[in-house]
Amino acid sequence: MDRYAQLMSIARNLLSASQRGDWTLLESVDRQLAELLTRRTEWGQWSQQEMMALATVQRAHEQARERCVSETQAMHTRLGQMREHKAGWLAYAMNGEVAEERP
């Protein structure tokens, strides 16, 4: 696969994985991108098209990063709520009345 196609594939995969919340795939694509960029100097001169594809990857990576930050904040909020209700849940559990919580 040529550099342009490889970069565009990475950009699509970054966006797709982050939009779906597929953190395992996102980690894999991010690792693939890191490996690709460490070899960047070995590739010689980059064409204008390849540089544009790299800019697309940078935008996709930033969007994925923003999604990760947003999800991290939501998880912190959720965990905080769970801590706040811990005593109540324990009381229900001790009485055998554990109710499933809905998201």
Distance of CA 58 to the CA centre of its chain: 14
Supply the pTM of this predicted model: 0.74
In this prediction, residue 101 carries a pLDDT of 55
pLDDT over 60 at 29, yes or no: yes
Dmax (CA) for the chain in angstroms is: 70
Cα(51)–Cα(4) distance, integer angstroms: 8
In this prediction, residue 100 carries a pLDDT of 56
Positive or negative CA dihedral for 102, 80, 73, 25?
Answer: negative
